[in-house]
Chains A and B, each alone.
Chain A
């Protein structure tokens, strides 16, 4: 068991310079038992504060937090049956790996034999059995990371909390640990709340993702839904790499009109845009929805553009072409077979069927919900 519920949780800090700062603003969500949920957002968005409130390291200003139906507002961290992996690992430097991993169990007065068994089992799962006698300073970054996770799993808690655990690792190790964490979740079948600022980590690990900005939850959804149907421009911009292209256009009832291109709106889209006739809307196009017109079979609904290509990046399996449209920087993600050249006008097709539309005034998705 390990269900976590936030009910209208608000956390305010008093800051000498800025006065009262609302770190988390009226957040409500439910994380189901055994679910892997990633909380993602830019720094200062309130994601770590949310995690720390679950852990009991911060107390919310208003609202209730429940774990398995029980309100835990007044419970100390040790009574919440959670384990946490910190960004800096927080390994006790004067203790060996074995002592680090057994520290919690020793405090809980487990019998020695049981502690020994559990530590060795966790060490086996994490592949760190040969490191048990070492001190943290004798370990590499990746090994410390494993010990930190090992220390968390040895207690077999109801909930695991991860606070940006991979951010101190190099790129290669990060990908390796990401895969291991996903496997670990399958194996342990325990609720995991995973905080990260890296949307790729969130997308690859989270079964559902909570996107936060300025203390406010922007959207809670599975990765594909976040990507395909973002609720607002912030989510659309935060999720996806390279980032989504956006430009302000006008809808005149028949066509989308903009300085650099005008295109007839397909019938299927007209209904969705009906209340925006003669108003400004933001058109969002993912880089992979812009095609090289020379090598793609077109459906006839695409907006044809011929921008001057500034730069082309060759990434092996694909090419990224950078150009300006309506004065905004755009990126197109093309197959490597494309012969697109920099400093040339190139025919590109924008797939409007995949386009996202946002209210230019409030940034909310017009058709995303």
Chain B
């Protein structure tokens, strides 16, 4: 019995590993191809049968990407936009999350549910009204304001922070109230510092998603100098249709901050998946 169940267990593990390896391969191959192409000379990268290794390794595509276009500016724009949105979300969603989790005020739950229900709406449903508001009514087209302001405090981050704040003991807030701390002081001196793990999760997720954001910047920017790197890369493709090498070099550069962020803060990524699952 034991021998048979052992054998069955081994077969099961082999099957699981095989499936996972195939999945990993499917995920990694495009990235690998991106990297290889970015290191391959222009003439080679246009071949119909791409090679598994750069035959003539060269950094020329990177030089072409950075030299020929407004690429540095796009990278800078992306950094400014992603950082500003991240900062806004860390501050505002933590404030909102704190209020929803710990403060008592009339209509609190109703407001929270209304906010949550907006998460059910598909992105494209709100896109057009937001576009009309930002571009037509407020006249913010082609500005950092248009790229940043609509996303300074997102509902999903507010929800995440509310769930996180719910796990903090209320007695800390009460102790601070007795210790003559103002309501804003409680947020700033007590809640904000002890909510750091939750805030780190918000910061990472927000940075990654707005660094990678494409559609909104594509809609609201018109000049080449206001584009973010994702939009820039797309336009680059149309302009330099044959230069896959430079384009992939751009893609590699654009994914570097995200990859670096992921590997340095893996712990928080995993926390982000479980936040709110434990309590609340």
Q: Which positions in A face B, CB cutoff 8 Å?
A: 55, 57, 76-78, 82-84, 86-88, 90, 92-94, 103-104, 107-108, 151
Given A86-B171, A86-B174, A88-B171: A93 and B194 within 8 A (CB)?
A: yes
| A145–chain B nearest beta-carbon distance, Å | 14
Contact B180 A90 (CB under 8 A): no
B148: interface (CB < 8 Å): no
Contact A76 B194 (CB under 8 A): no
**A92 surroundings in chain B (CB, below 8 A):** 172, 175-176, 190, 194
B193: interface (CB < 8 Å): yes
**A94 surroundings in chain B (CB, below 8 A):** 193-194
Nearest A residue to B179 by beta-carbon distance?
A: A104
B169: interface (CB < 8 Å): yes
B12: interface (CB < 8 Å): no
B140: interface (CB < 8 Å): no
Against A, the Cβ 8 Å flags (1 = close, 0 = not) of B167-201 are: 00101101111111110010000100110000000
Within 8 A of A (CB), among B138-179: 169, 171-172, 174-179
Contact B194 A83 (CB under 8 A): no
Contact A84 B175 (CB under 8 A): yes
Q: How long is the Cα–Cα vector from A92 to B175 in the complex, in angstroms?
A: 9
**B180 surroundings in chain A (CB, below 8 A):** 78, 104, 107-108
Q: Tell me which of A57, A87, A107 contacts B179 (CB under 8 A).
A: A107
Q: How long is the Cα–Cα vector from A86 to B194 in the complex, in angstroms?
A: 19
**B193 surroundings in chain A (CB, below 8 A):** 94
Q: A78-B177, A90-B172, A93-B194 are in contact. List 7 more A-B contacts (CB 8 A).
A: A77-B177, A83-B178, A84-B174, A84-B175, A90-B171, A92-B175, A107-B180
Q: Give the interface centre of B181, B185, B194 by most chain A CB atoms within 10 Å.
A: B181
Contact A104 B178 (CB under 8 A): yes
Q: How long is the Cα–Cα vector from A151 to B181 in the complex, in angstroms?
A: 14
Contact B177 A107 (CB under 8 A): no
Q: Determine the interface band of chain B, counting residues with CB < 8 A from chain A.
A: 10 to 19
Nearest B residue to A84 by beta-carbon distance?
A: B178
Q: How long is the Cα–Cα vector from A77 to B185 in the complex, in angstroms?
A: 15
Given A93-B194, A104-B179: A57 and B185 within 8 A (CB)?
A: no
**A76 surroundings in chain B (CB, below 8 A):** 177
Contact A88 B169 (CB under 8 A): yes
Q: Tell me which of B174, B181, B182, B194 contacts A57 (CB under 8 A).
A: B174
8 contacts between A and B (CB under 8 A): A55-B174, A57-B177, A57-B178, A77-B178, A90-B169, A90-B172, A107-B181, A107-B182
Contact B181 A86 (CB under 8 A): no
Interface residue SS majority, chain B:
helix
Q: Give the interface centre of B174, B179, B180 by most chain A CB atoms within 10 Å.
A: B179
Contact A78 B179 (CB under 8 A): yes
Given A78-B179, A78-B180, A104-B179: A90 and B174 within 8 A (CB)?
A: yes
Nearest A residue to B169 by beta-carbon distance?
A: A88
**A93 surroundings in chain B (CB, below 8 A):** 194
Given A88-B169, A90-B169: A78 and B185 within 8 A (CB)?
A: no
Contact A82 B169 (CB under 8 A): no
| A138–chain B nearest beta-carbon distance, Å | 16
| A353–chain B nearest beta-carbon distance, Å | 48
Q: How long is the Cα–Cα vector from A90 to B172 in the complex, in angstroms?
A: 5
**B177 surroundings in chain A (CB, below 8 A):** 57, 76-78
Q: Give the interface centre of B180, B185, B194 by most chain A CB atoms within 10 Å.
A: B180
Given A90-B171, A92-B190, A94-B194: A103 and B176 within 8 A (CB)?
A: yes
| A105–chain B nearest beta-carbon distance, Å | 9
**A108 surroundings in chain B (CB, below 8 A):** 180
| B167–chain A nearest beta-carbon distance, Å | 13
Q: How long is the Cα–Cα vector from A86 to B174 in the complex, in angstroms?
A: 9
**B179 surroundings in chain A (CB, below 8 A):** 78, 103-104, 107, 151
**A90 surroundings in chain B (CB, below 8 A):** 169, 171-172, 174-175
**B185 surroundings in chain A (CB, below 8 A):** 107
Q: Give the interface centre of B169, B178, B193 by most chain A CB atoms within 10 Å.
A: B178
Contact A55 B178 (CB under 8 A): yes
**B176 surroundings in chain A (CB, below 8 A):** 92, 103
Nearest B residue to A157 by beta-carbon distance?
A: B178
| B53–chain A nearest beta-carbon distance, Å | 51
5 tightest A-B CB contacts, nearest first: A104-B179, A90-B171, A78-B180, A90-B175, A107-B180
Given A90-B171, A90-B172: A82 and B190 within 8 A (CB)?
A: no
Q: How long is the Cα–Cα vector from A87 to B194 in the complex, in angstroms?
A: 20
Q: How long is the Cα–Cα vector from A94 to B181 in the complex, in angstroms?
A: 16
**A84 surroundings in chain B (CB, below 8 A):** 174-175, 178
